Structure 1
Amino acid sequence: MKKNTYAIEHVVPHAHPMILIDELLEYDDSKALCQLTITENSNFYNSETQSVPNYVAIEYMAQSIAAFANANEKDQGGEVSIGFLVSSRKLKVLVKEFSLASTLLVTVEQLYSEENGLSAFDCIIEQAGQIVVEAKINIFQPNDAKAFLAEQ
Structure 2
Amino acid sequence: MSQWPIAELIPHAGNMILIDQVLRFGDDDIETQLTVRNTGLFNLADGSLPAWVGIELMAQSVAAYAGCQARLLGEPVELGFLLGTRNFQCNVEHFPAGSLLHIHASRSLQDDNGMGVFECQLRGPGIEAFARLNVFRPPQVASYLQEDFQESQP
Same fold, judged at TM 0.5 (above): yes
1:89 aligned to 86, 89, 106, which one?
A: 86
1:115 aligned to 90, 100, 112, which one?
A: 112
Distance in 2 between residues matched to 1:64 and 1:93, nearest whole Å: 17
Distance in 2 between residues matched to 1:13 and 1:100, nearest whole Å: 25
Distance in 2 between residues matched to 1:90 and 1:55, nearest whole Å: 12
Spell out, residue by residue over 1:54-95, the C-alpha distance to the aligned partner (whole angstroms, 9 max, x if none). Answer: 111111000000001110111011110011011111211211
Distance in 2 between residues matched to 1:87 and 1:41, nearest whole Å: 26
The match for 1:58 is 55
- 1:150 is matched by which residue type in structure 2? Q
Spell out, residue by residue over 1:86-120, the C-alpha distance to the aligned partner (whole angstroms, 9 max, x if none). Answer: 11112112110010110100100000110010010
For structure 1, the residue ranges without an aligned partner over 5 or more in a row are none
Q: Which has the larger radius of gyration?
A: 2
SS class of match (2:95): strand
Give the paired residue count: 148
1:131 to partner: Cα distance: 5.3
The match for 1:151 is 147
SS class of match (2:15): coil
SS class of match (1:137): strand
TM-score (norm 2): 0.91
SS class of match (1:63): helix
TM-score (norm 1): 0.92
Structure 1 residue runs of 4 or more that deviate by more than 3 Å after TM superposition? none
RMSD: 1.2
Distance in 1 between residues matched to 2:138 and 2:99, nearest whole Å: 35
Q: Percent identity?
A: 32
Check the 8 A contact 1:91/1:134 in 2, yes or no.
yes
Check the 8 A contact 1:17/1:43 in 2, yes or no.
yes
- 1:146 is matched by which residue type in structure 2? A
Check the 8 A contact 2:21/2:33 in 1, yes or no.
yes
Distance in 1 between residues matched to 2:69 and 2:6, nearest whole Å: 13
